[in-house]
Structure 1
Amino acid sequence: MATKSSLRSKWDEFVDSSTATAVELSNTNQMSTGVRNVVGWLKQASLEVQHASLRTLSTMTDQISGTTPPLIILHFNDVYNVEPRDQEPCGGASRFSTMIKSFAQQQPMILFSGDVFSPSILSTFTKGEQMSKVLNELGTQCAVFGNHEFDFGLEVLSERVSETNFPWLMSNVVDNETGRPLGDGKITHVLDWHNKRIGLVGLVEREWLDTLATIDPEEVTFIDFVQAGRSLGKQLKEDGCDYVIALTHMRMPNDIKLAENVEEIDLILGGHDHNYDVREINGRQIIKSGTDFREFSKITIDLDEPNNPIEIKRIEVTKDIEEDDTMKKILDSYLGTIEGKMTEVLGTFSVELDGRFSQIRTAETNLGNWVCDVLLAATGADLVILNSGTFRSDRIHPPGDFTLGDLVNIVPMQDPTIVILVTGQQILEALENSVCKFPKTEGRFPQVSGISFGFYPEAEPGNRIEPDLVRIGDEYLVPDQTYKLATKCYLHNGCDGYTMLKNSPVIVNEEECPELGLAVQNHFSAIQMRQGKSRRLSKHRQSLVTLSRRHSLVKSMEGNEWEGGPSPLRRGSLTSASLSIHHHGYSHSPSPPSSAHHFHHHHHKINRRASFDDLEQQTCQLSPKVQNRIVRLTPQLKQEMLIDRQRLEDESVIQEVDELNNSPQGSFDHS
């Protein structure tokens, strides 16, 4: 084995020994996927730091000792709209570029903390392509992925990353499919500042990772950002870095946790929060630099002084700043492309879609069902309620090619959604509001998914819903039970009479939920991938099947038990991994079940997988139907539906008794 470089750290020995242990475990089939991914993560991190060390050593020349000029950093985060707004600071990418370039003589280090490719009206049509050129023109030198980088899926993200001329970091999330950082990012990066070396890591929180609609949670391993920050910071310092910066995309409480627990990191440059904020925790600065090209931070660090004194200046982008001509030309070239994008074919429907106001504002339609199903699958909620005013086309869309222009005509491209926690009673009140103006063609009339109900068209408003006939998935509504409702922020704000939703707790906020138009676009992309028509074949895509349909399928196959199935919001199975390695090897999950038990569940998993494929294939056919989700009740129909409910409940009781008698707990030894 070659002699180790003087810059090689003790961490490398740790990686080498742990890798040997991992090989032993791999040979005995005892190492979990999560552990394998952490081992690969450790090896790649070590190699990245070693290569950076060699690169720096090979380019350094003997210099006369002297003081190092202060390190100048320009930092920004969370930029979406390239156009300026009316109020000050107005922002706008062209004026922002002018301000960034005004510091060129100081040769600043330009760092970005994520969220750029989406959402905006322009990015809806370009999938964020213009933002790659914006970041390049600004001279960005390193960035961390934000949650919105994944809005259009990994295939599009790969294209966007390839268009940028700087590295992207994702230091604590591993893609199980590739064994590399999610999004094909780097784990660490090192930048040279005169005779000093600046180490960079990119850390994200699990909270938003759990909500990514285009990422399969079963194919991702999350490494705690404190563990990753401590390990990588130590490794970078031991390999010769003078200063370590964490680019983060997390909420402030998690940035504070990082600062409190990781002394190996000297500075935290954060994103995800859109307000300008600076805090000092344990002698370390946390800096959030605003949003939307309205402001940025100029950070001056003295690397020669003890404790590296730091000066932070907030710089606002106002209307009195001239627009940068080069940036303006870049943006103008994209603003003129929107019209041409309207003819882009997203998919092909085999049936007509009914968006007429006379229908969609008074009854269930297949267009309403389809859009609500898409949102339900994207969020993994229990049910969806949208106001029919969401649907703008007021016409029948014929079978055949469905274009981006059709989508723009049907739903607003910037229509934020949210997942909230509501009680069954709130759902009943929301439904009462939704039909209170019937038969008027009011926009509050609902289109739904994951729920079915009946109402009396002739009854007094406020008493039109039949509570005993409201079903959520396969179960009848329970007033004091809580449910996860996906809806629009518009309704959560109490608009269209939905005041009962106004104070409901938010589970997934609008920042982390896909906008309605984006969810529909990603649905078409998932179909393309499912049918093998995508350039990148991956398990990472938006779900095509709603959680309620999955549960219905499993109940029909195995009764009420679904061991290992997806939890609400599709995020229960995302793997977490610890970096802790004991002298006897990695700790791992409990021993597998007996072979007979394993065969039984393996058999059911094969059947479930085949049936899920059937469900997805049906969805790919793009032939939505009216399914009696919203029923106008008559006395006779009510009685028929109540009899049906009683029959279902009786069958459920019989099934539960049978399961109890057949279970080990229900068996008695009479010997």
Structure 2
Amino acid sequence: MRRLLTVLLVTLLVAAGAVGPVAASEPVSSPETRAGATAPATGSSLAAEAPDNESNGSTTLTLLTYNDIQTAAVENQTFPRMVHLINERRAAHDNPTVVVGGGDQISPHALSPLTQWRTPVAALNVLEPDAEVIGNHDLDYGFGAVENFSNESEFPWLMANIVDQETGEPIPGTEPYTVVERDGVKVGIVGLADEAIKSKTAVDFDEKGYELRNYSETASEYATMLKEERGVDVVVAAAHIGIPESKTLARETDNVDAIVVGDDEVEYPPQETAGAVIVEAEARAEHVGEVDLTVENGDVTAWNGRLLNVTEDVPRNETVADIISKAREDTLEDVAGRTTVPLDARFASNYHDETALGNMIGDSFRAKTGAEVAITNAGGIRSNSVYGPGNVTVGDVYNILPFRNTLVTVELTGAELKQLLASQVVTLESETGQRYGSEAQLQVSGVTYEWVGHEGEEPYIREAWVNGEPLDEDETYTVTVNSYMAGWEGSVLTNATRVSTTNTLYGTALLDYIRNNTPVSPADTNRIRRVDSVTAVRDISVEKGMATVTIDAPNGTTATVPDSFYVVDGASSERLAAESVTLTDGTIEVTFENAAFRRMAGEGGDLELYGKYETTAFDRVYFEHSVVNADLRASDSGGNACADRSGHGADDDEADRGQSANASATVPAGVPATPAAPVA
């Protein structure tokens, strides 16, 4: 691909009447797309139209691709439809056609805890791909299982750059590459992974004696060998590495013509980077990549391509549908209970903020272990679907929590608990944050906390409360996590004292909770509170039965979102909405009904004020608005004193406005407390 015949291309373009460069536009994809989050449809991206083979004697090779089937593997929906579509496209071409998968096909899914890889492999055998690459989730059952599912597969599994540290041999059951010949066209396919695979699976590479070699160097080595020694016409990298890394691979390697991508699960129609065509079909069998490569004299000289959508109009492959139906019918179709509210298992929702589903998952862990706190990683919540209101089946539950993770309860100090929460904060300014937005990446129970997602704002966890009380950094708390998290290398969990371990799967904990509490009605109770700016309180005053809190507007504030402002007791879910919000002269005035405001403040209680605003200070990626926070402290001392915790008066330093100065103010004892009805 890199050795395109310039003269031939120019001639072809002139003959075709082309006047612009042969290039593909950059992909149109949502910046908040997160592993599994839905990207906007981009349609076809056609580039460098292949010349008429009959007129110049060249051959067109068609490459059909898919990746990251995961939870769809045992759902009788998109997977059998995808198989039908691929077979349909195979039959539509008279030219040679190859099918290559981008990894993460056999896990996770609703049957992972029960039958592991067996159902997906049986279905893939019907599809008959020419090659598959090992993805991180294909290692969910360990290195030892690879040989088992490879022996049951009627196609090769590839992995070139994960090798035995001593012998250099690949994982048993895999090959570094394979060569496929179709109608005289020879195609070499190389399997690759990147460094992220080590952190995305529970397998300990060092313990098992394996090393991960540089994917670009490995790809160059095999691609050059395949071209020069094996005489292949086309080299395809089956690369479970994501789109940015695939662009790096294209720039750093020679002789790679096409890259079939998996892992980051974005919708990426075929695009050219540094002479290699890159394609990714998002995930969950929702798309099929189709790339036509024009091959002449052992080189790729032109290409075009597109993504095909797997819609409900596509028929199911009956054989695959039957395999999935029989696998599911014994257990997964049973109704576990009912939910009165939607259960949001979408990746974007659970990575960025708390969800009602995430809260229920944490509650189910605590119900099973009796721990004070429960924490689960957002990446362990799968399926990227919304369930209910209505019946929830066993299959739904195991699709949401499909891994074989069990529950582990440890002891952590308050300081360690805050460190664990902070370790998962993704800042807006980081590389990941620029792609997906700032993220908390956790779901919790028993703990409420504020997080700041900006560089230079450490500690990223400002405030935290455990079961209604301010977190004590010296206190010891029992914390339940899933076994995958318990093995996080370098985290506070690694050497934490283990109170208990259980063979109960984390999915089973949720299943039991739903069964025991049906109908369930989990809610978003504001356990995870995003904060962009912490500001000072200038004044709290009362007039005509209304309490007015005046705060400094954060730097760059251009507007507020009035109906988003509220106060809440630091540890509770009860909140009081503002009556009005006014932005003027660098301050924000927020008014509340005084009786309710005083009741919430209580004797010696603390209130937190939150609200959304528009600002020029941040270029938001995922969240529509930024969030300001101010601390209001009730006090018996009276007066309208306003001081932040660092000792500066709110009126003393105008330059502190909008910065993270943990500002707080006392709620004046002199504010009259009018009678009010009890809070339900």
TM-score by length of 2: 0.46
- Give the helix-richer structure, 1 or 2: 1
Greater relative contact order (Cα < 8 A, sep 6+): 1
TM-score by length of 1: 0.46
